[in-house]
């Protein structure tokens, strides 16, 4: 199974489990995660959710071959959109434990989690412009709010990777830990959440997030519209072709 899910002691754990492909996410993996979060919403025994990868890799983002096979389908109709909607709207607290690379949606999904912890080897990147695309998952709204416009512009416009320590200094993650301690620490925090009154957690989370719910949903729809159109562009085709041919893309002929 490329996505492992388990429930124990009030915690749903969702784990990327495709290390041979750097945990690159396929359509089926998005569907599995979307379904797991939806199920957790109605399961009273689940009081917190943990999302984690492997010690060496969180996720390389989308599996590009699988992604391009499904590029004819409207972005809003894909399992990735279901996953975005379910994670963004989750009423129960979500804890993320990030070790290794977190690329693309591997970084943007963290903006919808409540507690984010990173290992010392974590590295984040949102290389959308490098692929001829635009930000997704409301990151164009949430990231500037989280870290300030200058830093957000640097990361989103250039698409360059940044370290766990920089993510901590920007306020994107709450704590940086040794790789060997990360998952145990994250699960301890999830266990602490699971021991608290569930109704108090739900209301507190809703009070913090409800003012932005409509704006987040609207931004995701706007991003999806542009993202879908840009997938068909010459720039994106050049970027993807260069990726598969293992060469640098040449965008000089595009305006």
For the chain, list the strands marked E by DSSP: 3-8, 11-16, 48-52, 57-59, 94-98, 101-103, 115-119, 123-125, 162-163, 175-177
Residue 255: per-residue pLDDT: 80
> What is the CATH superfamily name and number for domain 3-180?
2-enoyl-CoA Hydratase; Chain A, domain 1 (3.90.226.10)
| Alpha-carbon dihedral sign for residues 60, 78, 136, 185 | negative
Residue 64: per-residue pLDDT: 87
Q: Convert the pLDDT of each residue in 97-135 to its tens digit.
A: 999 999 999 999 999 999 999 999 999 999 999 999 999
HSE at residue 179, side-chain half, CA atoms within 13 A, is 13
Residue 23: per-residue pLDDT: 98
* Rounded Cα gap, residues 209 and 212, in angstroms: 6
Q: Give pLDDT < 50 ranges for the chain.
A: none
Of 186, 204, 174, nearest to 51 by C-alpha is 186
Q: What residue has token string 């972005």?
A: 75
* Rounded Cα gap, residues 170 and 148, in angstroms: 8
Residue 173: per-residue pLDDT: 98
DSSP 78: S
Residue 72: per-residue pLDDT: 58
Tokens of 94: 């979500």
Residue 74: per-residue pLDDT: 60
Of 117, 136, 114, nearest to 127 by C-alpha is 136
Beta-bridge partner residues of 12: 7, 49
Residue 116: per-residue pLDDT: 98
Residue 180, C-beta contacts closer than 8 angstroms, at least 6 positions apart: 55
Q: Count CB neighbours of 2 within 10 A.
A: 18
Residue 76: per-residue pLDDT: 60
Residue 225: per-residue pLDDT: 92
pTM of the entire structure? 0.96
């Amino acid at each position: 199974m490329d996505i492992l899910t388990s429930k124990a002691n009030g915690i749903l754990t969702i784990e990327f489990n495709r290390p041979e492909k750097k945990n690159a996410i396929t359509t089926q993996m998005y569907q599995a995660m979307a379904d797991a979060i939806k199920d957790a919403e109605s399961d009273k025994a689940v009081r917190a959710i943990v999302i984690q990868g492997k010690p060496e890799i969180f996720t390389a983002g989308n599996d590009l071959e699988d992604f391009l096979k499904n590029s004819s389908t409207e972005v809003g109709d894909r399992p990735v959109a279901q996953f975005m909607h379910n994670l963004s709207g989750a009423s129960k607290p979500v804890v993320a434990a990030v070790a290794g690379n977190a690329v693309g949606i591997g970084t943007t999904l963290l903006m919808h989690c409540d507690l984010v912890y990173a290992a010392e080897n974590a590295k984040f990147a949102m290389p959308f412009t490098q692929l001829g695309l635009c930000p997704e998952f409301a990151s164009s709204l949430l990231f500037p709010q989280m870290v300030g416009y200058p830093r957000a512009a640097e990361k989103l416009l250039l698409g360059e990777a940044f370290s766990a320590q920089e993510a901590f200094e920007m306020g994107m993650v709450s704590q940086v830990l040794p790789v060997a301690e990360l998952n145990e620490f994250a699960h301890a925090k999830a266990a602490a959440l699971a021991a608290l009154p569930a109704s108090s957690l739900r209301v507190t989370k809703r009070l913090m997030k409800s003012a932005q719910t409509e704006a987040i949903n609207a931004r995701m729809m706007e991003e999806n519209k542009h993202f879908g159109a840009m997938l068909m562009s010459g720039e994106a085709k050049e970027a993807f072709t260069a990726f598969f041919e293992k060469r640098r893309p040449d965008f000089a002929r595009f305006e």
